Amino acid sequence: MAIACSLSLLLWPARRLRSENFIFYFPNQHKSLPVEMMDNAIYLPLIPLLNVAGQVTGLQEKRNSLKVWFGDHQLEFHENKTRIQVNKASVSLTHPVRRSEGQWMVPTGFIPAVLPQITGQPVLYQHGTTRAFIGNIHPVSYSVELQNQPSGVKLLIHFTGKVSIQTASTNGKWIIFLQGVPVAPLEQKIQFQNPYVSRLDFDDQDGRPKLIITPTSNALNFYPQISADGRVLTTALVKPPSPQQPALAQKAPATAAPPSPGATIATLPTKPSTPAPAAAAAPVQSLPVIVLDAGHGGQDSGARSQDGILEKNLVAQIVQKVEGALTATKTYRVILTRNGDADPSFEERTVTANTARPALFLTFHAGEMGARSPVIAVYTYRAPSPPPANDKPLPFIRWDLAQQPETSRSQQLAQDLEQQFAQISGANAPQPMEAPVRQLRSIAAPAVAIEVGTLSPEVKAGAIAQPAFQQQLAEAIVRAVEQFVPGGAKP
Amino acid sequence: MTRRNLILALIVIPILVVSGFYLRALVRHMFFENRPRPEDEMRTQLSQQALQSEAGAEQQTVTLYFPNFEAGTLVAEARQLALAANNTDRIRQIVLALIEGSKQGHARGLPASAALRAVFLTSDGTAYLDFPNEVTQNFPVGIESETLAIYSVVESIIANIPSVKRVKFLIQGREVDTLDGHADLTGFYVSSQSTAAHAPP
C-alpha cells in the first residue's frame, strides 16, 4: 500500500497554479482565461478555451476520453495522451492532455495546432507566452534603447507600428498604457544596469497592454513624449534641478509639473524638460543586444545521434548556457529567437532579431561533420549567387540581401570566435568558412552560424552533449563577444 | 454419417482449404503488395534512357566532386563516362554518377537512396534539378554536409557541361527554403571558386 502511494505521488504530474491569465486578442475585443502550470508547461481549460474561440455544441465524456463537437468539427481527447483527433485526423501536441480537478486541460500548443483549423481564422501564438491573437490582427512589437543625458537618461521605445499612450504612476513606478493595437513583446521584462532606471516590464494581464518603468529613485522626474507618428516613445528620466543651479532651473519647461511616482495622472506633459548640464551626471551606458538563435524545434528535430541526442535539444542547451554566461557579465541584453520547443520560421526568427537591432546574431546548429569530433565550425553567409548589380541605389535594404552590408563585420566576428574555440582543449576549430546558411541571409547585423559536431546517426554524440564541454563553449563565445563588442556600450 | 458422405467430406474439405489459401494470396497480391508507383516507373524510365543514351557513345573523362568532411572541401575524382549528346541527359548522367558514389572511397554527398525526378535546362544556362521528397531521407544533416552536397552537384555539372551557368534545386517540383534545415535553396547556385566549401582539384 505504502509503495503504491509513493508510486502514485511520484507519477502524479507536477502541478502548480499560477495566478496568471492567458489573454486572447480578437479584432475588437479580448478575453482571458486562468492558466495552470503542469510539468513546466502552460495549460488551459479546454471547454472554456473552445468557448472563447467559438461555441461548443456537444460533449460526450467517457472514463478516459472526451469527444467535443465544435460547430461542424469533431475533436477527441484521451487523458495523458499527446495525440488528439481533429475531424478524425491525428494531431500531435507537445504535451499530453490532462485532467485537473475534473476539468480537461490542454497545453498551449493546442492553440496554433488546432484553433486555425476549427475557427477558420489565422492564429498567432508564440510558444511560452500567455497571449494569442485570433483573426486578422497584426500586433506591434518594440525594441528599447537607452541614451545618456547629462543628469538622467532617455529611454527610447521603438514600436513596429503606431501606438497612442496614456500614462499613470503608482507605487513608485510609471505606467504607460499602450492603446490602439495589441502588443506582442519580444521580452516580457528588461533589466538595466543604469543609475536612473532599473527595469521595464510589459504587462497585459487585464487585457490592457502597458509598459511599467521602474526608476531607481522616487526623486526623478519623468517626461514621456510620443513622436515619429506614434512609433517612438521617448521617456526622459531626469534629476530635478538642484537649488545650486537657479539659472539652469529656470530653463525647465513652464508647463505642468512633471509627474512623479505616487500620483496618478492621465495626461501627458506637453514637452520634456530641458536637461541641465552635467552637474552630477553619472556615466550611463546602454547594453548591446545579443540575439541567440537555437536552430530547429517542434516537429523539426534536425540531426540525430546514434544515442538519440536531437539537434534541437542540444542547441537549446548550448544557447541556455551562452545566455547564462552573457547575462552574468551584466553588460549585455540577450534575446532568444525561440522559447521552449517552438519552431519559429526562418522569417519569424529574422524579424525577432532585426527588430531588436542587435550588436550581433549567433545561430546554433549541430550536424554531420565527419570523424573529427568534437568540432566547432563557424560560418558566415555566402549567397548562392552574386547579388544583382543595382544601377540606382534603393531607398531601403532588400530583405534577402540584408546580410550583405554586414559581411566584413560578420567575418571579423567569425575570426574572433574561431580564435576562442581553438583554445578549447580537445576541440577541433577549423578556419571560419562561408556557407549558404538560410538563417543568416536576412539578418541586418553581424551574424554567424556556429555548428558543433559530429551529430550523426552513425556515432554517439560524445563530448558535444556533455555539460562541461557546452560550458567551455559558452565561455569561449562570451570572450569572443566581449572582444567584438565591448559590453555596456553600443558598438 | 454414411460412408458416402464421409468420402465426400474428405474430398471437399481439402479443396475448400486450398481454395481459401489461394484466394487469400490473390487478395494480398492484388491489394496489399507494394507496386511501383507511376512516378517511380517514370524516374526509372528516364534514368534508363539517360544510361542507354551512353550506348555507342565515346567514353569521356568527367570530373566529379565529392565531399571531404575533414577538410570542409570538395575533392575531385576523374571518371570515364559515355556522355549523351543531349545536355539534359548529360546532367542526369552526372547526378546519377554522384548518387552512385565515389569509386575512390570519398564521402558521399547525395545519399544512395536519392533519385532525380526531372531535369530542365533553360536557354539562359539554368539547370533545374527536381529531386523527390525522399532525397532528405538518410541525408547527412548539417550546415557543412548540406553545403558540400549542394556544391558537389553544382561543381560537377558546371565543370563538365559548359553551357550550364547556374543550378536551381527543386524538391518535389517546388522551391523550398532549405535542403534539410540549413542550406539555402531559395537562390540559384553558381560555381564557387572561393568558398571554403569548395577546393579545386
For residue range A8-47, what is the model confidence (pLDDT) as tens digits? 544 444 444 446 889 999 888 888 888 888 877 889 999 9
Exposed (0-12), middle (13-18) or buried (19+): which is A14, by Cβ within 10 Å? exposed
A434 touches chain B (CB under 8 A): yes
pLDDT for the residue numbered B38: 54
pLDDT-based confidence at A265, cuts 50/70/90? very low
- Test B107 with A435 for CB contact under 8 angstroms: no
Identify all chain A residues contacting B106, using CB atoms and an 8 Å cutoff.
none
Mean residue pLDDT across chain A: 81
pLDDT for the residue numbered A360: 96
pLDDT for the residue numbered A351: 85
Question: In sequence order, which residues have a C-beta less than 8 Å from that of residue B63 and are 6 or more positions away?
Answer: B76, B77, B78, B79, B156, B159, B160, B201
pLDDT-based confidence at B139, cuts 50/70/90? confident
pLDDT-based confidence at A439, cuts 50/70/90? very high
For residue range A398-427, what is the model confidence (pLDDT) as tens digits? 888 889 889 999 999 999 999 999 999 989
CATH of domain A11-134: 3.30.457.10
pLDDT for the residue numbered B42: 56
Q: Given a cut of 90, is residue A67 above it in pLDDT? A: yes
- Test A431 with B196 for CB contact under 8 angstroms: yes
Identify all chain B residues contacting A434, using CB atoms and an 8 Å cutoff.
194-197
CA distance B184 to chain A (A): 4
Any idea where the domains of chain A sit in the sequence?
Answer: 11-134, 142-243, 289-384+399-484
pLDDT for the residue numbered A15: 46
| A-chain residue closest to B151, CA distance | A384
Of the ranges A57-66, A219-228, B88-97, which one carries the lowest mean pLDDT score? A219-228
- Test A434 with B196 for CB contact under 8 angstroms: yes
Q: Given a cut of 70, is residue B174 above it in pLDDT? A: yes
Any idea where the domains of chain B sit in the sequence?
Answer: 1-33, 38-171
CA distance B201 to chain A (A): 18
pLDDT for the residue numbered A252: 34
CA distance B9 to chain A (A): 48
Q: Given a cut of 60, is residue A270 above it in pLDDT? A: no
Of the ranges A78-82, A242-246, B2-6, which one carries the lowest mean pLDDT score? A242-246
Q: Residue B138 corresponds to which amino acid?
A: N
For residue range A90-129, what is the model confidence (pLDDT) as tens digits? 888 888 999 888 889 999 989 988 999 899 888 888 888 8
Identify all chain A residues contacting B192, using CB atoms and an 8 Å cutoff.
382
pLDDT-based confidence at B188, cuts 50/70/90? very high
CA distance B11 to chain A (A): 49
Identify all chain A residues contacting B187, using CB atoms and an 8 Å cutoff.
383-385, 436
- Percent of chain A past pLDDT 70, that is, above it, reads 84
pLDDT for the residue numbered A241: 60
State mean pLDDT over B115-144.
89
Q: Given a cut of 90, is residue B164 above it in pLDDT? A: yes
CATH class for domain A142-243? mainly beta
Identify all chain B residues contacting A432, using CB atoms and an 8 Å cutoff.
196
- Test B177 with A383 for CB contact under 8 angstroms: no
Identify all chain B residues contacting A382, using CB atoms and an 8 Å cutoff.
192, 195, 197
Of the ranges A185-189, B120-124, B147-151, which one carries the lowest mean pLDDT score? A185-189
CA distance B148 to chain A (A): 9
A347 touches chain B (CB under 8 A): no
Q: Which residue has the higher pLDDT, A15 or B166?
A: B166
pLDDT-based confidence at A297, cuts 50/70/90? confident
User: How many contacts, defined by CB atoms under 8 Å, are there between A and B?
Assistant: 107
pLDDT-based confidence at B148, cuts 50/70/90? very high
State mean pLDDT over A64-77.
92
C-alpha to C-alpha distance for A330 and A339, rounded to whole angstroms: 21
pLDDT for the residue numbered A13: 45
A338 touches chain B (CB under 8 A): no
A364 touches chain B (CB under 8 A): no
pLDDT for the residue numbered B193: 63
CATH of domain A289-384+399-484: 3.40.630.40
Q: Given a cut of 80, is residue A180 above it in pLDDT? A: no
Q: Which pTM was predicted?
A: 0.58
Burial A160-189 (b: 16+ CB within 10 A, else e): beebebbbebeeebbbbebeebbbbbbbee
pLDDT for the residue numbered B35: 53
State mean pLDDT over B140-157.
93
pLDDT for the residue numbered A257: 36
Identify all chain B residues contacting A371, using CB atoms and an 8 Å cutoff.
69-70
B113 touches chain A (CB under 8 A): no
For residue range B69-124, what is the model confidence (pLDDT) as tens digits? 888 889 999 999 988 989 999 999 999 999 999 999 999 889 888 889 999 999 99
pLDDT for the residue numbered A3: 55
Greatest mean pLDDT range, A10-24, A125-139, A384-398, B151-165: B151-165
